[in-house]
């Protein structure tokens, strides 16, 4: 049984990767969780999960006659983690269409699959996670440009039949109730959490550890646990989900 989530936002730097790793670790208490760096052009999950030096990554899986995905899957912090490399040449050699099969293979063998998604919606590889996911977690910073970009992600996701799991407000300083209230009118799904701006998040990344491992007692870590608690992953038949991924038509980007 599996449910696939994409963690997405309109812009880079909002906290998608931080959120992917934090939700993954929080859910790993109760579920068999796999997180995938599907941001194949700007990969950085490897730095958040202590995998900067590994030999085989998703890039090696996505090339012609590539490695099996098991070779790029690492057990870290109670999760299965599929990192992606950072070389531009490898990104260019990687075939985004293959990502469908990779995701399908992973879906057959996990309870919760979380795809860390690219920031933009301007290429086939960047829209794929949103199209494939059952539900999308939209990561927002409490600013009008971020919310407006997040709405584009939502519109795109809904147009391909993906649901919105909810929104995570990240890097929040001070009182943003007004902004949140406005945003809640436009986004489907609940506000999953409000995560404060926190030095611990940066420190965790520098240490190559998920926030929930590095500083589990901080308010930011608590906020991500709250978000995970609100997700309630659903039981989708693994074979049906895998088949949907394998046969998905990747649309032309908007």
Pairing of the two strands 135-140 and 3-8: parallel
Q: How far is the CB of 43 from ligand ADP (least distance, A)?
A: 10
- Contact track, ligand ADP, 166-205, x by CB under 6 A: ----xx-----------------------x-xx--xx--x
Separation CA 193–CA 205 (nearest Å)? 20
170 binds, among ligand ADP, Mg ion, none (CB under 5 to 8 A by kind): ligand ADP
Q: Assess 9 for contact with Mg ion (CB under 5 A).
A: no
Of 36-55, binders to ligand ADP (CB under 6 A) are 44
Residue 211 or 242 with smaller CB distance to Mg ion = 211
User: Per-residue x/- marks for ligand ADP, 8-27, CB under 6 A?
Assistant: -x--xxxxxxx---------
Give helix then strand counts, H and E, for the chain: 12, 8
Question: Which of Mg ion, ligand ADP, none sits in contact with 56, Cβ below 5 to 8 A by type?
Answer: none
- Binding Mg ion (rule: CB under 5 A), the pick from 17, 56, 167, 170 is 17
Which lies closer to Mg ion via its Cβ, residue 72 or residue 241? 72
List, in sequence order, the alpha helices (H) in 88-209.
Answer: 88-93, 96-107, 124-132, 144-159, 177-186, 199-207
**Do 96 and 248 form a contact (C-beta atoms < 8 A)?**
no
Residue 107, CA distances (Å) to 1, 111, 158, 207 in order: 8, 8, 21, 30
The number of beta carbons lying within 10 Å of the beta carbon of residue 17 is 26
Cα–Cα distance measured from residue 38 to residue 99, given in angstroms and rounded to the nearest whole number: 8
Binding-site ranges for ligand ADP (CB under 6 A):
9, 12-18, 44, 170-171, 195, 197-198, 201-202, 205, 220
């Amino acid at each position: 049984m599996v449910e696939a989530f994409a963690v997405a936002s309109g812009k880079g730097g909002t906290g998608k990767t931080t959120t992917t790793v934090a939700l993954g670790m929080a859910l790993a208490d109760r579920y068999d969780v796999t997180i995938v760096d599907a941001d194949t052009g700007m990969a950085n999950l490897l730095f958040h999960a202590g995998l900067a030096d590994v030999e085989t990554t998703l890039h090696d899986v996505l090339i012609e006659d590539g490695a099996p995905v098991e070779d790029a899957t690492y057990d870290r912090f109670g999760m299965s983690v599929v990192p992606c490399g950072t070389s531009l040449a490898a990104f260019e050699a990687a075939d985004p269409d293959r990502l469908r099969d990779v995701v399908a293979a992973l879906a057959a063998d996990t309870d919760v699959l979380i795809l860390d998604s690219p920031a933009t919606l301007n290429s086939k590889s960047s829209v794929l996670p949103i199209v494939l996911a059952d539900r999308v977690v939209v990561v927002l910073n409490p600013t009008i440009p971020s919310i407006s970009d997040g709405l584009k992600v939502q519109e795109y996701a809904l147009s391909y039949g993906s649901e919105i799991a909810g929104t995570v407000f990240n890097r929040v300083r001070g009182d943003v109730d007004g902004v949140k209230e406005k945003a809640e009118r436009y986004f489907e799904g609940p506000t999953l959490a409000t995560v404060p701006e926190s030095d611990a998040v940066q420190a965790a990344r520098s240490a190559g550890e998920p926030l929930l491992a590095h500083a589990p007692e901080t308010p930011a870590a608590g906020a991500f646990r709250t978000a995970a608690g609100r997700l309630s992953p659903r039981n989708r038949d693994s074979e049906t989900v895998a088949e949907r991924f394998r046969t998905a038509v990747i649309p032309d980007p908007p």
